[in-house]
Structure 1
């Protein structure tokens, strides 16, 4: 029997970073999500961006969101859209 394996999560202040290398059939590849609040918004990039987020997570959500915006070439089709 296979048990589901949770995503790798790193908590920030009011947000978290979630690395998912399990749901490849849904997302098409491994993904890294910047998740606001209690799963209010999911900003998802293709690939493993954990190291880069770890370097700036202490600066808060805005710094992580800036990183997301700087990497829109890697945006996943399932990501929430940026207004």
Structure 2
């Protein structure tokens, strides 16, 4: 499940992330609104300052499992 983002095209990863950031039904938007970091009238990708952070989170979400696998393989080789 963790490496699923590596075997699907980046466009599909982007679509999945947009669904998670949806202002009405997205999990990420809900969590940020519940802790007070996001206003419901201002979606994450609406402004330039928050869009960069949103894109960075999507990239980190896509590539973190691969980096963890490489790290664990290196530790195992020791």
TM-score tier by shorter-chain length is under 0.3
Higher helix share: 2
Q: Which has the larger radius of gyration?
A: 2
Q: TM-score, normalised by structure 1?
A: 0.24
Name the structure where strand makes up a greater proportion of residues: 1
TM-score by length of 2: 0.25
Of the two structures, which has the highest relative contact order with CA contacts closer than 8 Å and spacing of 6 or more?
2
